[in-house]
Amino acid sequence: MGIWLAVAGLALGVLLGLNIPLVLPQVYAKYLSVAALAALDSVFGGIRAAMEDQFDNTVFISGFFSNALLAAGLAFIGERLGIDLYLAAVVAFGVRLFQNLAIIRRYLFRKLK
């Protein structure tokens, strides 16, 4: 049921995003990309936690939003400092994303056996 709820929410979000006539300025594209990556990481972290039966709703929600905002803020500060600090966020979240994916895969295989 949870999977279907997630898929429905995702579909609704995609629909909303496509139908909102707002196009963000290109300047914010970098922040938004990092924020999206962080959000994705949080989601996969949540799925992993759910599979380990350690899912905590508060941690999940706060992690989702704070990670996204923190990543965007980091990118912004990096921009002001002249350092490509968003790369750090990309690397960190990317690594965690793949780790989470690997763990989820293993859980799935274990379940299937």
Partner 1 sequence: MKLSTCFSLGLVALVLGMLIVFQFRVTRHIEQGIPSGRVQELALELRQLEKDKAKLEAEASDLSIKLEQVTRGQTEAEKALKDELAKARLLAGLVPVTGPGIEVTLDNPPQQAREGGPVSLYVIRDEDLLRVVNELRGAGAEALSINGQRIVAHSEIRWAAPFINVNLTRVVPPYHILAIGKPDNLKSALEIPGGLVEYLRDLGVQVKIQSYDRLTIPGYSRTMEFRYAKPVVKG
> Can you give the binding site for partner 1, defined by CB under 8 A?
1-2, 5-18, 20, 23-24, 26-30, 32-33, 35-36, 39-40, 42-43, 46, 55, 57, 60-61, 64, 68
Residue nearer to partner 1 on the CB measure, 2 or 109: 2
- Residues 37, 47: Cα–Cα separation, whole Å: 15
* Shortest distance (Å) from residue 95 CB to partner 1: 19
CB neighbourhood size of 82 (10 A): 7
Residue nearer to partner 1 on the CB measure, 4 or 109: 4
| Residue length of the chain | 113
Beta-carbon contacts of residue 109 (< 8 Å; ≥ 6 apart)? none
